[in-house]
Chains A and B, each alone.
Chain A
């Protein structure tokens, strides 16, 4: 089918022309680029602040959480997992008494002394499990292994950058309280998440 509107071949206006039109043309081009560019950037600018909004959110620091009555924790020197329950805010939703994590509590034999270890692997943040047969903590993701006191076992796996994260833990009026917080993973030092 024949084209009803054959396009005339148009030359870009770069041929010999008087100076004034050429200057005018440059001005037009410059304005077209500037204004056109500006309006195209506009919707991105409108989305910029909301897009970066997560950067100004913080975890709100550690939470002082009552975990268990001391009596419920056997004094066998072995790690016992406990769920950490606290009020949590997820964007707009306020979740009261929400399980937010897990710790291992270890009570030394015949004492009231309790240690708390975060169950989050310091390597890349998977949840560390307890291997009772070998009396070791083991991470299911990249073979990290730790002794009962949280010391990394480099002879088993070289990946953990530091020992397991221990948490401040107190016994008050027969209750075990833990300052629960998360740490940055992959670092040699223990650095709380902002």
Chain B
């Protein structure tokens, strides 16, 4: 054994190499504050290893990228963990980068003779950010797709050769196969290659100059092995623990038991024809995103190119500015200000989305995005994915089409309720909210004097002081509470909602009582037709109220004598509207299904 080692050492000089590597002197001894660089190397190592494993299963093309990522996440054993680790380690890397830069600048480690190494570090930082940006697109989901459009359009703002640069990166005038192949080549080939190259130089330079320590050293000198190695290893362990926690946090915090729902998100497949209002960059680019809101269109390039370029230039100039004592203070102030500014902008971006005036819309967009993402996955699981890709499944799916059609055609007046049991914000000039339409809760609200003329019901329509509102605010007040409840149950039972089938069966007696009340020509049937009662009703027919047939006919023509007749407010007759505004009978059927939350389950 020893002879073999001697032979190996003679041929390679491995003993000297190892001893140089391990017994590097650390003046003042090992310290925790020196771990940042090592944790970054560690995270890069994790990314390379997990990235290669992902590579074995990923397929970069517009018809297979989302599909292969779906397969990794949902069909491959342990795929969720692998993908989750890669996703969150990427984020950890950005955070560690910030710590590393702060430590280097605060300790003055960028000053002579380490200027070149500092510059190498700045180059490495940009490569890491480039890796984040390119990786974000690869799943080819709505999120990555729209974020990348923004990022590459910004690239187009670069003076002189911006447009050409954009075309080269995107792989042509449009986003597609070649965008993915190019981004993948950048992400898995060019950028990691460059990173390794600069990392080797960076570590070499670091070894050449040694660690930057405080003078005079308070403690005895130490060596890299084992004291610093142990600290580095513990720090890496901590990073690993944080990453693992982030991957499984849904299981820990909200008891998620389906492992494939842990780790990194996968949105709906990218679709250039479908708006994605929930589009946001990865959180560590949010500050840039927020920053760009400050610039009017024609000055965009200033915010996107010139100012970030200037800041980068200031960072590159740090070693020169830092030659003077006050220069060093300036540098420390600059990085602190940058970190604080980025932090502030990130908070502002978060605030705008979650608390600001437009936050309700963003919230809705996020809910819609999640719904479409979940539906895509349901469909892929139930049907398998056709060769033309998952997008075709989604586009052919009645549920998704209905939601999109409702958004395009109905939501302008009725608004989009976030959920069947949540009406959300009413529209200022809107028609009744339709979340949970014809359910007991919805009808109870209609028969409530507090809400009937409120913004969720007739408040913003011509019916706000109509006969119905007057009735609810007048005669109905004389009714007994249980009578009103019976009517609510009976009317809601007309809709035959699947979600209410059990309750309808259980309350058969009360429904019967309610039906008798509705039939009473002194009560509801005075104005409304209901089955064989109220033959000459002037208000909408309540027979089968909210059922498929009723809704289909109502949407087809609300001004039909059976419904509002001449009293119809502004709602168009969608079946007979002029071409372009009309809805096909299939589209109406889909919207009816959507309103009744009677979504077609995958077969």
Of A36, A46, A48, A49, most B-chain CB atoms within 10 Å? A46
Complex: A29 Cα to B226 Cα, angstroms:
5
Q: Looking at the assembled complex, report how far the CB atom of B289 sits from the nearest CB atom of chain A, in whole angstroms.
A: 30
Cβ–Cβ contact B236 & A50, under 8 A? no
Minimum CB–CB distance from B36 to chain A (whole Å) comes to: 15
Residues A94 and B85 in contact, CB atoms below 8 Å apart: no
Q: Is the CB of A5 within 8 A of B210?
A: yes
Q: Beyond the given A12-B19, A43-B50, could you list 20 further A-B residue pairs with CB under 8 A, ordered by the A residue number?
A: A5-B208, A5-B210, A7-B210, A29-B225, A32-B229, A35-B236, A35-B237, A42-B46, A47-B53, A49-B78, A49-B79, A50-B72, A50-B77, A50-B79, A50-B82, A56-B77, A92-B70, A92-B385, A93-B67, A93-B387
Q: Within the complex, what minimum Cβ distance (angstroms) separates A51 from chain B?
A: 6
Using known A-B contacts A7-B25, A10-B23, A32-B229, determine if residue A51 contacts B53 with beta carbons closer than 8 Å: yes
**A44 x B225 contact (CB < 8 A):** no
A39's partner among B72, B79, B237, B383 (CB-CB below 8 A) is B237
Chain A interface SS verdict (over half): helix
- Indicate whether A25 reaches chain B with its CB closer than 8 angstroms: yes
Asked if A42 meets B68 with Cβ closer than 8 Å, knowing A13-B223, A92-B380, the reply is no
The answer to whether B237 touches A49, judged by C-beta atoms less than 8 angstroms apart, is no
On chain A, the residues within 8 Å of B380 by CB distance are 92
Residues A48 and B78 in contact in the complex (CB < 8 Å), given A5-B209, A35-B234, A43-B45:
yes
Is A91 engaged at the interface, CB distance under 8 Å to the other chain? yes
Chain A residues 79-93 with CB under 8 Å of chain B are 89, 91-93
Q: What residues of chain A have their CB less than 8 Å away from a CB belonging to chain B?
A: 3-5, 7-8, 10, 12-13, 25, 28-29, 31-32, 35-36, 38-40, 42-44, 46-53, 56, 89, 91-95
Cα(A47)–Cα(B223), bound, Å: 34
- Docked Cα-Cα span, A4 to B234, in Å, equals 32
Given contacts A36-B229, A39-B42, contact A4 B113 (CB under 8 A): yes
A29 CB contacts on chain B under 8 angstroms? 225-226
Chain B residues within 8 Å of A48, by CB: 78
Residues 195-234 of B contacting A (Cβ, < 8 Å): 208-210, 221, 223, 225-227, 229-230, 232-234
Q: Contact check: which of B85, B226, B383, B384 meets A32 at CB < 8 Å?
A: B226
Q: Which residue of B lies closest to A34 (CB)?
A: B233
A50 pairs with B384, CB closer than 8 A? no
Q: Which residue of chain A is the closest to B209 with respect to CB atoms?
A: A5
* Complex contacts, A35 vs chain B, CB 8 Å: 230, 233-234, 236-237
Contact B76 A50 (CB under 8 A): yes
Residue in chain B with minimal CB distance to A51: B53
B236 with A39: CB separation less than 8 A: yes
* C-alpha spacing A91/B208, complex, angstroms: 50
Least Cβ–Cβ distance between B469 and chain A, in angstroms: 54
A32 in contact with B230 given A5-B210, A12-B23, A43-B46 (CB within 8 Å): yes
- Closest B residue to A12 by beta carbon equals B23
Instruction: Confirm or deny: B429 has a beta carbon within 8 angstroms of a beta carbon on chain A.
Output: no
Contact B230 A50 (CB under 8 A): no
Closest residue of chain A to B48, judged by CB? Answer: A43
Which residues of chain B come closer than 8 Å to A56, judged between CB atoms?
77
The contact of A53 among B50, B79, B226, by CB within 8 Å, is: B79
Chain B's nearest CB lies how many Å from the CB of A26? 9
Residue of A4, A13, A48, A91 with highest tally of chain B CB at under 10 A: A91
| Closest A residue to B113 using CB positions | A4
Flag whether B240 is at the interface (Cβ < 8 A). Answer: yes
Is B126 in contact with chain A by the CB < 8 A criterion? no
